[in-house]
Structure 1
Amino acid sequence: MRWWCLFLGLVLAWFVYSLSPYLALYRLSEAVRTGDVAALSQRVNFRTLRLSLSRQATAAAMQAIEARPDLSSRDRQILTDAVASLVEPVVGTLVTPEMLVDLMDDGWPQRLGVTRPEGGASPKDRGLSGRTLSELFALARTAEMRGFRGVVFSYPPDQPRERQYRLRLRLRGFTWRVVELDLPADLRDRISQKLVRLPGRTEPRP
């Protein structure tokens, strides 16, 4: 009888664990939908998220600089130094509870002053949405487990890969927290343009 109770307890624990990342995703989407920055803050590791976004922004800015054939070596170095010094303040502006709600509710950080490209999905189709069972199931189907303590969700689930966000959650203690957010290509490009146009940029030589 004791072994049977232990077996049932293990099965129940595994069942609860298996459902827990999806419940965390639902609560995160509800916090975004309602603009509950306090609830969102409890579900985000801001340090690791800031590092993740800084790497993405720096890589995109470096690609944008390398793609400019009209820049001299000196101009490239000046822009590279400017990006290195400015990426942290820009990303720091993005990684706040209010800005994350702004980013995740419709897929674009209007408060950052980054212009949205024309065409593509409409704003309502770019956010993290789990308001209905069908939306939750669609998000759940994108889950990619990373061992026992990590999971990645891609949203919007019906968009092509280059237009999706990839949200990585990691289990710490009994709470799943956002540790990384891979941005879609168009948003990375817009942020990189903002970086290379900030003070410190020089005009191409004639």
Structure 2
Amino acid sequence: MTRAGRLRRTLRSPWLWCGVAAVLLVAYLISPFVAAAKLAKAVKARDVPAVMARVEAGPLRRSLTRQLVRGYIVLNKKEGELGVLGQQMVMAMAVSLFDPIIEQMTTPAQISELLRKGWPLAKGESVPNDAGIGIGGLRDLLRRLDRAGFIGLTEFRLVVDIDGSPERRLGWRLRLDGLKWKLYAVDLPPQLIKRIVDRLPKADKIKI
């Protein structure tokens, strides 16, 4: 049999394509962990351009706004007084209250610090100097499968500790952008949402 004939025979083998499919599946399952590890490495190095290359800033901003407005409604005890439509109206009106703090939290430098420290810092505030993201690399991430999972085929969520502190535990949400996983949302812990909302005007300052 000629070389061309052997090649055609190999290409017709179902075992070959099963092997290719298995390799592609493993690569897909590992790919968000690799992306998260690279993002964590950039965060630890305070390499802001490398961090932002792996972040969708617009969706991240909208994610933070939704969480803070929702927290604002709940913490000011307005949730039970409002129907679904009322809550939607309040959320629309309250967004303007969050613009300054969202602007502060979503500059490239502050996004990097939020991911590294688990805390958006206001002027004069600080967290312990040794506080930092608790990801040591890809191998470390793969040992934490209980803290990670796919949401459908194109989204992935990972729980990230900042030195083991529950108050600075973030949920990283990544999604496929072409062939690259990017961070598009961060789930804030309740303590942090309360801390931010406490800086804002009280609910009676808006007409609800």
User: TM-score scaled to structure 1, two decimals?
Assistant: 0.75
**Sequence identity (%):** 27
2: CA distance, partners of 1:44 / 1:108: 17
SS of structure 2 residue aligned to 1:156: strand
Return the letter of the residue paired with 1:36: D
Q: Which has the higher contact order (CA 8 A, sep 6+)?
A: 1
Whichever of the two has the greater Rg, that structure is: 2
Change (3 A) 1:115 1:166: same
Higher strand share: 2
Alpha-carbon deviation of 1:145? 1.1
1: CA distance, partners of 2:65 / 2:91: 14
Instruction: Choose the corresponding residue for 2:170, options 165, 168, 174.
Output: 165
Q: Which residue of 2 aligns with 1:156?
A: 161
Change (3 A) 1:55 1:172: same
Alignment of 1:1-206 (within 5 A): 1-2=10-11, 3=13, 4-66=15-77, 83-110=94-121, 112-113=122-123, 124=130, 127-131=132-136, 135-156=140-161, 164-196=169-201
Aligned residues: 183
Give structure 1 stretches of 5+ with no counterpart.
68-78
Structure 1 segments (4+ residues) deviating >4 Å: 79-82, 114-117, 122-125, 157-163
SS of structure 1 residue aligned to 2:200: helix
Give structure 2 stretches of 5+ with no counterpart.
1-9, 79-89
Can you list the C-alpha shifts for 1:21-51, whole angstroms capped at 9, x where unaligned?
1100100100100001111111111111111
SS of structure 1 residue aligned to 2:173: strand
